[in-house]
Amino acid sequence: MKFLLTGGAGFIGQHVLRRLLARGHDVRVFDSLRPDVHTGACWTPPANVELQIADVRDASAVARAVQGVDGVLHMAAKVGLGVDVGDLPDYASSNDVGTAVLLAAMAKANVLRLTLASSMVAYGEGIGLCREHGAVTPGPRMEKALASGQFEPPCPHCGQPLSPALVSENAPLDPRNAYASSKVVQEFYAANWARLTGGTVAALRYHNVYGPGMPRDTPYAGVAAIFTSALRRGDAPMVFEDGGQRRDFVHVRDVAAATVLAAEKHDSGVRAFNVGSGTPRTVGEMATALAVSLHGRLPIITGRYRLGDVRHITANSTRLKTELGWRPEIEFSAGMAELAAS
């Protein structure tokens, strides 16, 4: 098949590109190469891969890019949390306007297969388990509680702390920062497009992706990259809150494999898929694993916090496994060692 891969020069995009090529697909890459993401040397695509350099909000460029392709893998996005209200316009424009422009071009060109890079942040705090009330949507974490070191989100009914639970795709969407809101809007726009055109959408809700090629020291660096950069400088990783935040760290090659499988196999309707390892880890555990691998200083638990962060979000990826036949292959300790060595 011939695919358009937006954001193909990015961290995850480059791994998806390699996977597509290894599977024998013809790929056209579309990327803005914006400097706040692509630091260092200019990216060069592999031989026989066409690169179109433009912004996904550029309607004429996008119209050219979708010509002659069988499907689109849409990875282009501004990522990160967004730290204040002033960040909202860039997230809305880059992610949501850009996606709307792409969908309009796909409809006009009769390109009806979309694989969308979404995110676990769409769930907010996900699902928590209360001893009295069972599975509930956690209440919001309040600044006063965080400032006093009360990091666990409360039950919205009785106020007691919750135990974390794996989140399925049927959990309510509850975006709690600018990036999360933009990803939810992308999914809604894609679903609107699919209803109007008869197109298909696989929305892949990536969990905490890590691996070789992660950006470092940029606004887009994930926490693993931030910790690795600190350790290479000889500094200790600075872990927010008490280090007990639970995440699902999934290796980028496993994510790329899931993305390409979805592009190849999902051919009916609109479907969301969690992409996670299925084995929750704490942020503190991850920082310690990197420190050990790099023979660096052990993490420092700072007690600091960001109001837009969620406490726990971990995936149930059963749907991806049963419907598309995907399995994660890279174990956490091996993946962290590889990241430390990259």
DSSP string, 14-29: HHHHHHHHHTT-EEEE
pLDDT, tens only, 227-243: 998 999 999 999 999 99
Q: Using an 8 Å Cβ cutoff, are 268 and 202 in contact? A: no
Token pair belonging to 163: 């135990």
Q: How far apart are CA 79 and CA 82, in angstroms?
A: 8
Mean pLDDT of 7-17: 95
pLDDT, tens only, 272-302: 999 999 888 999 999 999 999 999 999 999 9
Q: How far apart are CA 238 and CA 240, in angstroms?
A: 7
Q: Using an 8 Å Cβ cutoff, are 34 and 79 in contact? A: no
Residue 81 confidence class, pLDDT cut points 50, 70, 90: low
Q: Which residue has the tokens 């592999």?
A: 46
Which pLDDT score is estimated for 306?
A: 86
Residue 39 confidence class, pLDDT cut points 50, 70, 90: low
Indicate the DSSP class of residue 120.
Answer: G
pTM above threshold 0.75:
yes
Mean pLDDT of 164-188: 91
